[in-house]
A = this chain, B = another copy of it.
Amino acid sequence: MTIKEVASQLGVSASTISRALARPELLSTETRERVLEAVDRLGYQPNLVARALRLQETRLIYVVIPTLSPFFLEVFRGVERGARETGYAALVGHTGRNVQREQLFLDQVASYRGDGVILVTSSDPAALLARRKRMPPVVAALEEIEGLAAPAVRVDHRKGAVDATNHLLALGHRRVAYIGGPEGQVIAGHRREGFHLAMNQAGLDPDGYPYLAVDYAVELGEQAMESLLTLHPPPTAVFAGNDEIAIGAIRAIKRVGLQVGRDISVIGFDDQRLASLYEPPLTTIRVPTEELGYRAILMMVDQLQGRSTEEDIVLPTSLVIRSTTGAPRA
């Protein structure tokens, strides 16, 4: 059922049908009603592909995330909500931190399949985008993208890490270790900087324990913690680069018979759902993931519709104290 078929059924032109749906005030009351009735009766649905071709906009936004994890899912949830509210659809793609896969998505957008891209971190985005021929509008979510003039909706990872570290220090800890996210990742870097900053400020050596950079996975956090436990003296507190690593660390600690929150404190980052569910519930730094995604898509739409979006948006993190941190044993 195309617009022409509806038109010929009614003995009017296709233009009239189009206008009845897009700008009904242009039609006489009588025609408008006849058309709308027929559209309804025949179940006509405009072909979105044809419309996209004509209007040169697909109303589709690509969201590129590194992995399909619950964490990024939260961000996507926000994007999806905002997209729905503004009449867009969101297409999520995960790259598995693989540059080629990332390239693939950008290609698709470059092929006019999407109106814009929301990049939620990226392996090497600046390089990628620079060599794109047709540069689609980009918004960065979660963290700014180095070397790229794209507006960002982000969080101050450095400050969050300072807060986390200070929380441990305020409890009286002096032997604090840091298990960080993957080497080379921007976010992981910032969080580590925050840790350094706070430790230095307290007059402590941030490199008192080896810096272990592991990917965001429970198993890897567990391994890292195991190796820290072999040191003498072991740390009394550990700051983990995210909640999954923290959970891993807790598992390792439990396994050797120590009690988390009493013998060793652990603090995470992100406040994933897992954090509050776990036993014991995890002390962590909350990142407003859903909100991040929501703001990012709104910023994207603003940009697409010609409203200015100069400024980055920085959302606050907050310390959520649960049960895995406490004063060091006397």
| Residues on A facing B (Cβ under 8 Å) | 1, 43, 45-50, 52-53, 58, 68, 70, 73, 76-77, 80, 89, 91-94, 107-108, 110-113, 133-134, 218, 247, 254, 274, 277-279
Contact = CB atoms under 8 A, between A and B. Distances in A.
A46 B113 CA distance: 10
A134 B45 contact: yes
Nearest to A77: B68
A89 B94 CA distance: 12
A45 B107 contact: yes
Contacts of A53: 47, 49-50, 53
A113 B46 CA distance: 10
10 contacts: A45-B133, A46-B111, A47-B112, A49-B52, A50-B53, A73-B73, A80-B93, A89-B91, A218-B277, A274-B274
Number of copies: 2
Nearest to A248: B277
Nearest to A42: B133
Q: Most B CB atoms within 10 A — which of A1, A50, A107?
A: A50
B92 A47 contact: no
A31 B279 CA distance: 68
A132 to B, nearest CB: 9
A80 B58 contact: no
A49 B112 contact: yes
Contacts of A73: 68, 70, 73
A80 B94 contact: yes
A110 B238 CA distance: 53
A47 B110 CA distance: 9
Contacts of A110: 45
Contacts of A108: 48, 89
B89 A92 contact: no
B76 A68 contact: yes
Contacts of A77: 68
Contacts of A80: 68, 93-94
B47 A111 contact: yes
Nearest to A45: B111
Q: Most B CB atoms within 10 A — which of A1, A48, A133, A279?
A: A48
A112 B45 CA distance: 9
A9 to B, nearest CB: 15
A143 to B, nearest CB: 22
Nearest to A131: B43
Contact of A91 (B91, B107, B254): B91
Given A1-B134, A89-B93, 14 more contacts: A45-B110, A45-B133, A46-B111, A49-B53, A68-B76, A68-B80, A70-B70, A70-B73, A89-B91, A218-B277, A247-B277, A254-B279, A274-B274, A277-B278
A39 to B, nearest CB: 11
A113 B48 contact: yes
A201 to B, nearest CB: 35
A91 B61 CA distance: 11
